[in-house]
Chain A
Amino acid sequence: MEANNNMTAERSLEIITTQIAQSRKDVSKDVGLSLYIAGLCTMGTALVIGICTFFTNNSAFYLLYFALPLIIYGFTRYAKRNQPPTPSSLFGTMVAKTWLTFAIFALSFFVFANLFDFLVARTESPDVAVRLMIQPFRTILLLMGMCVTITGYILKSRWLVWCGIIGGIGGFIWETFNVTGTLFAYIAADISNYCGVVQGLIPGIIVALFAFIGLTLPGLMLKRQK
Chain B
Amino acid sequence: MFQPLDPLLHSELRLAIMSLLISADEAEFPYIKEQTGATAGNLSVQVEKLSAAGYITVEKTFKSKRPCTICRITPAGLKAFETYVQALKSYLEVGKA
Residues of A at under 8 Å CB distance from B?
1-5, 7, 9-13, 15-16, 18-20, 22-24, 84-85, 87-91, 93
The complex places the Cα of A140 from the Cα of B23 at a distance, in Å, of: 32
Please measure, in the bound complex, the distance between the C-alpha atom of A1 and the C-alpha atom of B46, giving whole angstroms: 12
CB distance from B55 to the nearest CB of A (A): 15
Least CB distance from B49 to A in Å reads: 9
Tell me the complex Cα distance, A4–B7, Å.
11
Main SS at interface, chain A: helix
17 contacts between A and B (CB under 8 A): A1-B12, A1-B13, A2-B38, A3-B13, A3-B45, A7-B15, A13-B88, A13-B92, A15-B15, A16-B85, A24-B23, A84-B28, A84-B30, A87-B28, A88-B25, A89-B25, A91-B23
A170 to B10, CA, bound (A): 51
**Apart from A19-B19, A23-B24, A91-B23, what are 19 other A-B pairs with CB-CB below 8 Å?**
A1-B16, A5-B10, A7-B10, A7-B11, A7-B12, A7-B15, A9-B92, A11-B12, A12-B10, A12-B88, A15-B16, A19-B20, A19-B23, A23-B20, A85-B28, A87-B26, A88-B25, A88-B26, A89-B25
Task: Evaluate whether A19 and B35 lie within 8 angstroms (CB atoms) in the complex, with A2-B42, A87-B26 already known.
Answer: yes
A3 contacts B31, C-beta separation under 8 Å: no
Select which of B27, B30, B31, B36 is within 8 A of A1 by beta carbon: B36
Which one of B11, B28, B36, B85 contacts A4 once the chains associate, using CB atoms below 8 Å? B11
